[in-house]
Chain A
Amino acid sequence: MKMRAEEPAKKLMQGNEACAEGAIAAGCRFYAGYPITPSSEIAEVLSYRLPAVGGTFIQMEDEIASLGAVIGASLAGAKAMTATSGPGFSLMQEHIGFACMAEVPCVVVNVMRGGPSTGLPTLPAQGDVQQARWGTHGDHPIIVLTPWSVRECFDLTVRAFNLSEKYRTPVILLMDEVVGHMRENVELPNPEEVEVLDRVKPTVPPEWYIPYEDTPFGVPPMGIFGEGYRYHVTGLLHDVRGFPTLREDEIEPFMRRLFRKIWAHLNDIQQWETYLMEDAETAIVAYGSVARSAMRAVVEAREVGLRMGLLRLITLWPFCRKAVESILDGCKTLIVPEMNLGQISREVKRVAQGRAQVRTVSRVLGRLIKPEEILEAVEGWKA
């Protein structure tokens, strides 16, 4: 018994629950959402937890309303989030664009299930990867993170909030049904140990405040409604003061800054991990729950002497070009297993530019890809 007490406090929990706990730890105090499996546990946990910490939970009439309320709350100073799955994610696209355009920090969780349309409630898929990148209309940068474990659901939810605050942008946490519903024994950090970032607010006198002025960092300080910095927020393309503009010399600089604030900080935003890549000749490039099968495949391949490794993408967008480039010298073959018909493998091919053979292992049958299905694509593998 004594030995037990000294062990860290571990708890059996779901990815969705860990995501909700991560939100609380990150300082989220407003949640608006509309129920949809396999994401509903996030809403359920937060409906219980948020009022206890002085926050607000509200179930809106649909997902468009949910993200609208989240953006409103964020403009009023609250860290805010919503969670959904495929059909709801489609409905949120217009407001994801609004948050990009008006530069409003917020976190959107999409626990992927099979699509299109109502699709496969609720079997896993990774079919929303390109939608997460390009779902809303118009040119825009976006940050998308994908966890592979329950603990990482917690960590990446915190990170999603931190990045959204730092860069004044919506951040999408792209989970999948396996990760969302899977239970693992996890140890969550104490609240004091969690690094939390808050948006930079203006410090100049209000009459000097120029709400969308360019800065060396590319992210203007954010005035909060009710805190003395009165300004105009709009989804129309706007000048540095926030007012609608149709002037060429204002449109282009705005669009360029919107991209630059993300692209100039890829080192901070992009995360990936490698396993056994030092001497690897074949690499699996995977993300989300599929990376778990990929990891297993690497271990099995190593057991029979095949020099295989894993590149696991944590930041999905902006695409980790550097990560893929860094393995092109050593690897002749890249295997990209996905629960879709090749949405990230086309990015890998684009970066590989023919320097390595890229093999897509696609499965769209409503279940996780098995390690042996990945291994079948490996030369020299005999089952």
Chain B
Amino acid sequence: MEGMKSGRSLIYQYLRHDKKFPHVWCPGCGNGILLGSLIRTVHKLGYPKDDIVLVSGIGCAGRLPVYVDFNTLHTTHGRALTFATGIKLAKPHLKVIVVMGDGDATAIGGNHLIHAARRNVNLTAVVMNNSIYGMTGGQYSPTTPYGLKASTAPHGHVEHGFNISRLVEAAGAAFVARCTVYHVPLMDRLLTQAVEKQGFAILEVLSHCPTHFNKMNLLGGAVDSMRWMKEHAVPVEKAKRMAPEALKGKFRIGVLVDRDIPDYQTEYEQVRRRAKEAAPYKLDPQEISKMLESHQIY
């Protein structure tokens, strides 16, 4: 009872009263679960609403910011991270959180995603991965599983999907985590870590789309999807102790990558310092070979 009460008052505190509800999401959609987690996270961390900028792309997931009383920005399809980069660099004290769909983040926005990870701007990105284009009616996305159906794959899908977490890990993200819309306390914890991380932090949330993906693939409703997530997700710590055969068909949830890399803003301060010096910036010949050697891309 007490929990319910405080949950509800939080909602009144953070949702926009002047926004005409009902929201756009279908019954059973996972997007609302993320919205709740975001509100709890910001509240727990104690950030003033004025310091939060919630940015999104286009899609069902992209509709999330409009409901919350932060600075909110609903951008173009796939490009949310680019706007977020500009905001963060222009006003570094703002906490910039970006919500994207799987198509948004990895198809049309795939290039921005890998570059944001590589550049390591201090942003929090959340990808709501429902394996489908929800908003436009269930067309296949870069994460639609091989063999399944989509409204543009009526004969079965013949492409292989991205592993989003490994993609951004390879691109250089400082923090990579994964959870599902079933694992809500974990979502709260991971989101907290991601928001607090210095550098580019990304949380992949496995979600479902009862309206399109589930229907086309005979997967039942939201509860059936949740049950599937519960049965197939393995916490990373547990996965470490499991034999590879036992892990077959399962996926890991939890913190997948957490490394300390100076974020873009910190690096750019060096540029500002050098630019203000009277003498032009000169490379030290001895440093040159060191830099080439530490350039770990080969």
Q: Which residues of chain A have a CB within 8 Å of any CB of chain B?
A: 29-30, 32, 48-52, 54, 56, 58, 60-62, 64-66, 68-78, 80, 94-95, 98, 225-228, 230-236, 241, 243-244
Contact = CB atoms under 8 A, between A and B. Distances in A.
Chain A interface, DSSP helix/strand/loop, else mixed: mixed
Contacts of B112: 61, 65, 68
B85 A69 contact: yes
A154 B49 CA distance: 40
Interface in B112-156: 112, 115
A52 B275 contact: yes
A58 B121 CA distance: 11
Contacts of B274: 51
Contacts of A74: 86, 90
A235 B272 CA distance: 34
Contacts of A70: 86
A328 B190 CA distance: 70
A223 B70 CA distance: 13
Interface string B98-121: 000000000000011001000000
A71 B83 CA distance: 6
Interface of B: 16, 18-20, 49-51, 53, 55, 65-66, 69-76, 79, 82-91, 93-94, 111-112, 115, 268, 271-272, 274-276
Contacts of A32: 85-86
A75 B73 contact: yes
Contacts of A234: 66, 73-74
Given A30-B89, A65-B85, 5 more contacts: A49-B275, A98-B76, A228-B50, A234-B66, A244-B66
Given A48-B275, A235-B74, A64 B79 contact: yes
B268 A51 contact: yes
B94 A235 contact: no
B43 to A, nearest CB: 15
B227 to A, nearest CB: 34
Contacts of A228: 50
Nearest to B94: A226
A158 to B, nearest CB: 20
Nearest to A62: B111
A227 B51 CA distance: 8
B51 A226 contact: yes
B76 A232 contact: no
A61 B111 CA distance: 7
Interface centre among B19, B49, B50, B90 (most CB of A within 10 A): B90
A51 B271 contact: yes
Nearest to B277: A52
Given A228-B50, A244-B66, A73 B76 contact: no
A48 B88 CA distance: 21
Contact of A230 (B49, B76, B86, B276): B49
A75 B87 contact: yes
Nearest to B20: A243
Contacts of B71: 225-226, 230-231
Contacts of B73: 72, 75, 225, 232-234
A232 B66 contact: yes
Given A72-B84, A76-B91, A225-B71, A235 B76 contact: yes
A72 B115 CA distance: 17
Contacts of B19: 232, 243
